[in-house]
Amino acid sequence: MPHPNDTKRVTKTSLYSWVLYKNIPLQLTVIGVIVITVAMRVLPLEMQKRIINEAIGMKDLPALYRYCAIYIGAVTVAGILKFIINLIQVNIGERTLKIVRERLYEHLLSLPVQFYRRTSPGNVISYIITEFIPVATFIGQAVAVPAVNILTFFAMAGYMIHLNPTIGLISIAIYPIELFILPRIQKYFRKANRDRIKHTQSLSGLVGEAVSGVHEVHSNASIPLEKGRFSEVLEKLYKATVMQNGIKFGIKFVNNFFMSLGPFVLFLIGGYYAIKGHFDVGAIVAFLAAYEKLYDPWKELMEFWQVYQDSSVRYNQIMRTFDHAPEFAQEADGREPYALDNDIEIKDLSFVVGGNIKLLDKVSLKVKGGEHVALVGFSGSGKSTLALCVAQLYKYTSGSLLVGGHEVSELTKQDISYNLGMVAQHPFIFDGTVKDNLLYSCRSLAMQGGGCTESGAEPSLDDLIKITQQVGLFTDVLAFALRAKLGDGNTDTALRQAILDSRQEFQEGNDGMYADIAGFIEFFDMDNYSHYMTVAENIAFGAAVKEEFDQEHLHERQRFIEFLDRHELRAHLSVLGETLARIVTDEMGPEPTHEAFAASPIPEAEYGDYQKVANRLDSGEPLSDEERGLILKLALCFIPGIHKQVDLDKGFANRVVKSRPDFIDMVHAEYPGSFSFFKTDKYIESLNIQDNILFGRVRADAQGAEDEINHRIMQALIMQASLEPVAEMGLNFEVGSMGDRLSGGQRQKVALARTFLKTPPVLILDEATAALDNKSQARVQNILTNNWKGKSSVLAVIHRLDMLPYYDKIVVLKAGKIVEQGGYEELLAKKGALHLLINGKED
């Protein structure tokens, strides 16, 4: 039979039920080890008494050796067993924490979309990551700590009574008094802890909100307002934390006071008995040691009680926060997911939110299988809400919504996943590669026993290339690949040779097929200065292979400084660096935007350092060695074709070109392998694929050059039968957190391709091409019209009304109601709502 924890909703599971969940064998092992440990703790006390009374008192050396050996052996075994207990505790706690987090994370992902509209992501992260750590500690300790300390307490108490019943019972009688006082103080500690957690979460949510809305903060100059809100919550957190710690220290004071009463009783009464000859010295020493060890388990039990209270508060608060039932079943238990027809029938559908606001009001619509329907209307008309109800992202309030004859509210998420695909206006892109994101839906289907191909296998590289070409993403994928390097363990010699062969095509004379784009490229030339390479690259006529020789560190190399002096280059570089620092910081001002650094020789991360250098230059103060190094580094990174702040001095350029052979000889002699030099017949490992093929750089002033050059490179790679491996490199491009390395248009193309790969019977598009340019939008629409019409039903929220003629039916919504529907020409002829919408008017 399944364990209750396997079937019950995770938020309904009590904290203590996790203690034994899949942990019973380990917990039993712990108890067995604890019994032996307690025995090993009592044995040294008896040995102390015997060592003093029998061995030392009787001057018996063999007995001394024997008792000391038993003593150290027992202490060592007890220490080893304690180490084992701790390891088992950690294992139990962390393994259970893993299970709880997995179950809770699964539950969180199943919660309604509306839950996340009112819940801060910062709070969710804090709850599931940080706040659970003490809970894991408690779960690991829940059996071991009480067991070891209770057994130790009774073992020590029994031994003390054995030594002297009167003193033992009086000493033990102190603890019930403490047990009466402490829980009452603990009550206030729990309240303070709850307040601290609540204010910590409020602070986390406030920071997350301000960071997410930083553009709004800047545009409203509301930093003082946000600071005030932050300070208010911070003050509450400060008071709650001080209160919690004050109570905690009070508890420690009570513990320490009662701990001191025991020795007081022993010295008073035990001393009296010893003076009267009723209590020997060995027994006093053993009794005192036993009392100290008696307090240790009591102290640990008190600390464990605090851990329990803290964990209980955290756990219950977390579970209460997430104690919401999913709106829809997740899996189709006991059956295969439905393979639905793609007819859609909507009847009297309403969707009402708080305050009795009707976002949809008795909407009725029929979509035949394979029919393409456009939803249009002014903002707030309900068109996106209707699409989200069909996609089962919203649970409609009343009415009927049938897909393939099945009520959507009764279908499982698995059923919807099998039969429906959706692309949102602002699609989410996951951290990982482009390929990972394209295959996201297919891999999810595969885990459910389905797939995007007839065989159920993952789409091939050819499939991915085809779909990216259809949505216009392939040129972006190719661009990602061309900006990549073949290093990092790539040993594809055939690809290197193909790139060299493609380079030869580009290097051929004006009669070659690439002659018309030669003007877009500045080819590498040993005898001429390149305006699209840095000064450092121009000096080396190559690029660094080892980190210590790259542009971040080259200025620190003493031999390189000597080389610059020998060729009379350093003085000019210093003047160039100082001029750039002054001009750039003057032009860009104190707080430049991120976009301003696109054509700046100063990196954004180092702008503050160069502001300080520029200020020192303006004041006439001498620069430090570190600042002079920054100036030289800036000059070495100068690219005259991009950084237009300063003109290139022709005399300096000629000296650079003349210095190249000497630099190459120096590197070969002193630092072999540190640079890869630009040779027409060699693949240059330190350059990206595009620079290797072109054997040069694209001119920044060449309008439309990038697309044309990428097209020609693609032709060259096709001729060399190397397009696929290069494309695969582009598909492995890391998109960054939430796709932040992609543009808005690229993110939408990825989302479209991801859904198109799935080829669902029903496709929902919620302004899915809003971020695309006109050409890309037209391409996507052609795919829908030519490849999907008559096969898959499409329900599209349309923002570009010129696309409406491609749709079989137009549905116009206003204030949550359908005001008219029909064919495009039919509705235009009526001169009704659609006519008004196209003309930008609202009746």
DSSP states of 117-177: HSS-HHHHHIIIIITTHHHHHHHHHTTHHHHHHHHHHHHHHHHHHHH-HHHHHHHHHHHHH
- Residues 6 or more apart whose CB falls under 8 angstroms from that of 222 comprise 216
- Looking at residue 738, its pLDDT comes to 85
Strand pairing class (406-407; 398-403)? antiparallel
pTM of whole model > 0.85?
Answer: no
pLDDT tens readout for residues 796-834: 999 888 889 999 999 999 999 999 999 999 998 888 888
CA 39 centroid distance within chain: 49
Helix, strand, coil in percent for the chain, rounding step 5: 65, 10, 30
Least confident of 59-68, 117-126, 750-759: 117-126
DSSP-based three-state secondary structure for 363: strand
154 half-sphere exposure, CB direction, 13 A CA radius: 6
Place of tokens 């238990």: 333
Closest by alpha carbon to 372, among 755, 667, 663, 791? 791
Q: Can you tell me the distance from the alpha carbon of 563 to that of 450, in angstroms, rounded to the nearest whole number?
A: 65
Q: How far is CA 315 from CA 100, 311, 419, in A?
A: 11, 6, 38
Give the CB-side neighbour count of residue 714, counting CA atoms within 13 A: 18
Quote the mean pLDDT of the chain: 84
Handedness of CA 237, 243, 246, 248 (dihedral sign): negative
Residue 93 pLDDT exceeds 90: no
- Which ranges of 699-759 would DSSP assign to H, the alpha helix? 705-719, 723-731, 744-758
Q: In degrees rounded to 5, what are phi and psi of residue 534?
A: -70, 165
**By three-state DSSP, how is residue 348 classified?**
strand
Which residues neighbour 540 within 8 Å (Cβ) at sequence distance 6 or greater?
A: 660, 663, 664, 667, 675, 677
Q: Which amino acid is at 336?
A: E
Please give the pLDDT value at position 129.
Answer: 80
Calculate the CA 578 to chain-centre distance.
41
CA distance 54 to 51: 6
Closest to 544 in 3D by CA, of 656, 552, 655, 635? 552
Of 164-173, 219-228, 723-732, the one with minimum mean pLDDT is 164-173
Geometric angle at alpha carbon 132, from 130 and 137, rounded to 5°: 115
Q: How far is CA 745 from the centre of its chain?
A: 22
Burial class (CB in 10 A: 0-12, 13-18, 19+), 39: middle
d(CA 226, CA 222): 6
pLDDT in tens, 468-513: 999 989 989 998 999 888 865 566 788 888 888 888 877 764 455 5
pLDDT for res 103:
86
Residues 666-687 have a mean pLDDT of 89
Residue 664 pLDDT greater than 90, yes or no: yes
Question: Looking at residue 34, what is its pLDDT?
Answer: 87
pLDDT band at 289 (very low <50, low <70, confident <90, very high): low
Which residue, among 705, 634, 222, 678, has the nearest Cα to 687 in the 3D structure? 678
Q: What is the dihedral of CA 639, 640, 642, 646, to 10 degrees?
A: 110
Q: 236 falls in which pLDDT band (50, 70, 90)?
A: confident
Q: What pLDDT does residue 514 have? A: 61
Say which residue, 158 or 431, is predicted with more confidence.
431
Instruction: Tell whether the model's pLDDT for residue 148 goes beyond 70.
Output: yes
Place of tokens 């350029």: 653
Does residue 841 carry a pLDDT above 60? no
- Give the torsion sign (CA, 308, 312, 318, 324): positive
pLDDT digits 0-9 by tens, 760-772: 999 999 988 888 8
Overall average pLDDT of the 609-620 stretch: 89
**Coil vs helix vs strand at 345:** strand
CA angle 287, 291, 294 (to 5 degrees): 135
Matching residue, tokens 């706040």: 131
What percentage of residues in the chain have a pLDDT greater than 70?
A: 89
Look at residue 280 in the predicted model and tell me its pLDDT: 58
When mean pLDDT is compared over 3-7, 268-272, 424-428, 806-810, the highest value belongs to 806-810
pLDDT at 188: 79
Q: For residue 166, is pLDDT > 90? A: no
Q: How far apart are CA 767 and CA 803, in angstroms?
A: 12
* pLDDT at residue 206, as a whole number: 81
Tell me the sheet residues that pair with 374: 796, 810
* 340's tokens: 């639905």
The Cα 614–Cα 578 span in angstroms is: 7
Angle of CA points 55, 58, 63, to nearest 5°: 30
Burial class from Cβ neighbours inside 10 Å (0-12, 13-18, 19+) for residue 589 reads exposed
The 3-state DSSP class for residue 640 equals coil
589: helix, strand or coil: coil
CA–CA separation, 593 vs 615, rounded Å? 20
Q: What does the alpha-carbon distance between residue 407 and residue 395 come to, in Å, rounded to a whole number?
A: 11
Q: What is the DSSP string of 781-837?
A: HHHIIIIITTTSEEEEE-S-GGGGGGSSEEEEEETTEEEEEE-HHHHHHHTSHHHHH
Dihedral pair phi/psi, residue 282, rounded to 5°: -60, -40
pLDDT confidence bin for 260, thresholds 50/70/90 = low
The DSSP bridge partners found for residue 360 are 351
Residue 843 has pLDDT above 60, yes or no: no
Angle CA(598)–CA(603)–CA(606) in degrees, nearest 5? 150
Residue pLDDT, tens place only, 542-592:
888 888 888 888 888 899 999 999 999 999 999 999 999 999 999 888 888
Residue 464 has pLDDT above 70, yes or no: yes
- 264 pLDDT tier (thresholds 50, 70, 90): low
Instruction: Please give the pLDDT value at position 426.
Output: 86
Q: Nearest CA to 152 among 85, 200, 89, 219?
A: 85
Mean pLDDT of 175-179: 67
Give 324's pLDDT tier (boundaries 50, 70, 90). confident
* pLDDT one-digit tens code per residue, 700-728: 776 777 778 888 888 888 888 888 889 99
Quick one: average pLDDT of 61-75?
87
| CA dist., res. 83 & res. 104, Å (int) | 31
pLDDT of residue 510: 44
DSSP string, 256-305: HHHHHHHHHHIIIIIHHHHHTTSS-HHHHHHHHHHHHHHHHHHHHHHHHH
Q: How confident is the model at residue 290, as a pLDDT?
A: 64
Nearest-5° Cα angle at 609, 605 to 614 = 130
Q: Is the pLDDT of residue 3 over 90?
A: no
Q: Is the pLDDT of residue 692 over 50?
A: yes
The pLDDT value recorded for residue 1 is 42
Task: Report pLDDT for 275.
Answer: 67
Q: For 148, how many CA atoms within 13 A lie in the half-sphere containing its CB?
A: 30
The DSSP symbol for 51 reads: I
